[in-house]
Amino acid sequence: MKRTLRAAILLPFLAVASASPLLAAKMYWNVDTTDIDRAELDGGDLENILSCPVACTLGPLAIDIVDSKIYFAVHQFDNTIERAELNGSSPQMFKNLGPQTTATDFAVDPVARDLYFVQVGDEGPDTIIRVALDLSLTEIVLSGLNPVRGLNVDPAGKIYWIEQGPTRLRRANLDGSNAEVLATSLGVFMDATLDLQSGTIYWIQGSEVRRADLDGSNPGVVPVALSGPNSIAFEPISGQLYLTLSSDPGQIVRVDPDNGDVVVILSDLLAPAEIAFDSGAAGVPMIAGGIPPSLLVGKVGMTDIHLAWPASCESSDDDYAVYEGMLGAVFDTHVSKFCSTGGALEVSFTPDAESSYYVVVPTVARVVEGSYGQTSFGLRPPSTTPCLSQNSRECSECERDDDCSALEVCLHGTCSVLACLQGCDCCSGGNGLGCDCPECENIVCAIDPFCCERFWDMLCDAEAAQLCDCC
């Protein structure tokens, strides 16, 4: 039996009114094919993190926000893909491509834990390769391509790229199947980027920034004209576009995709290109076994947030519920935000002006199964393995104590009567199974059967303290 609403993969989002560590996100870019620099999103704290020795060049780069690594290409006698810490320390070879082929574009799938890259040989067409970040798999996704640039990955199931000769914006499934053309041009497309929160793809066409829905529909133009744009990237926390300009001297600018307003972030740069971000990399938790969290958070506009997640590993799950909790409170006091997403794997909303965390749980036939993962104490209860069957209950009848009567409190979305008992051990570890006050034990175990069927732990103590007033 799995504990209902006991554990979760935490991915905290600190709302607009709170101080947020996400504001410390940095941008990374290539400098004249010999260096990689980084700076804060407003251009502050500019620093060089990687430099190429004599007789080599640095190629494209990509950020793995889960493991906080930067991947980059090194072109010399033996061309390689390397990775390092985000500050450039501890560089190591990731994959040796040999002297005859090079990597010209990168994209990381943070959910499937894969690196996609474009492999170019001395002769012949381009190839898109997928390699697992643990090096357990390397495979060709697409081959026989005209020159490729602007490679992007949507973890929900698509790769996107620009192909020249003729110029086409294309996409395919992650395994390369079902390839299709989204846009064409007689001119040149320089680079592309995805805004997964709004479902938009942006690309550089001449001096313009074009956009469309991810399926190519609803094409349009961002109302801005730039001099020599050569790379573009969408930054999910600010909801803004960042572009490198190859003007002399080079610049990095920020563009509002809605109104085209331009802010110069950095100027007097030497040939900047290939911009990327580490947004969300700091402090992303890992669950037992080193498995990365699959709940991704981003910002929509100035006030809303966007949650996205992959499908449940249990095939019977047909819907999802979203729970909200307050950071600093007892972990499992989170309450229902949405009882159903209609089966959708994403949701956008305006959060409360508080420091909050969110938990997404699978449901079957609109019945909530409860959350799972790593507890706020860094432990996984012995019965909680993802996608095991468990006791179910209907979606929350309350969200806060104010939703209940004067003699009740809201716990796990259920209005429960306070039991005023003194002198029991229910708040100090219990007796293994349950505690020595039957009234309090019955109240707690009715909501959390784990306390009486498995073990009375510190989370049961916290529930008793809230429900029974016996501490």
- The 10s digit of each residue's pLDDT in 38-63 is 999 999 999 999 998 777 889 899 99
Q: How many angstroms from the chain centroid is the CA of residue 58? A: 27
Q: How confident is the model at residue 355 (pLDDT cuts 50, 70, 90)?
A: low
Is the pLDDT assigned to residue 276 strictly greater than 70? yes
pLDDT at 216: 94
Distance in angstroms (rounded) separating the CA atoms of residues 461 and 457 = 6
Question: In this predicted structure, what is the pLDDT of residue 22?
Answer: 34
Instruction: Please return the burial class of 343, using the count of CB atoms within 10 Å of its CB with bins 0-12, 13-18 and 19+.
Output: exposed
Q: Give the CA dihedral 133, 139, 144, 147, nearest 10 degrees.
A: 10
Contacts 24+ apart (CB under 8 A), 106-109: 106/60, 106/61, 106/62, 106/71, 106/72, 106/73, 106/81, 106/151, 107/62, 107/151, 107/152, 107/153, 107/159, 108/62, 108/63, 108/64, 108/65, 108/71, 108/133, 108/153, 109/153, 109/155, 109/174
pLDDT of residue 445: 81
> Within its chain, how far is the Cα of 2 from the centroid?
26
Instruction: Answer whether residue 385 shows pLDDT above 60.
Output: no
**86 — pLDDT class (breaks 50, 70, 90):** very high
pLDDT at 240: 92
> What ranges do the domains of the chain cover?
1-19+292-398, 26-277, 418-471
For residue 20, what are the contacts with CB-CB under 8 A and spacing of at least 6?
A: 14
Average pLDDT over residues 279-295: 40
Cis check: omega of the bond before 219, within 30 degrees of 0: no
Mean of the pLDDT values across residues 378-387?
38
Whole-number pLDDT of residue 374: 37
Q: Which fold has domain 1-19+292-398?
A: Immunoglobulin-like (2.60.40)
Is the pLDDT at 204 greater than 70? The verdict is yes
Q: For residue 60, give both structure tokens.
A: 């494209």
Q: What is the mean pLDDT of residues 126-139?
A: 93
Length reported for the chain: 471
Provide the residue type at 337 as one letter. K
Mean pLDDT of 212-219: 94
Position with higher pLDDT, 50 vs 445? 50
12: helix, coil or strand? Answer: coil
113-137: average pLDDT: 90
Q: For 365-377, how does the pLDDT look when each residue is reduced to its tens digit (9 = 90+)?
A: 555 454 443 333 3
At the top level of CATH, which class does the domain 26-277 belong to?
mainly beta
Q: How confident is the model at residue 416 (pLDDT cuts 50, 70, 90)?
A: low
pLDDT 10s digits, 314-351? 667 778 877 777 665 554 556 677 777 888 888 888 87
Res 200: pLDDT: 92
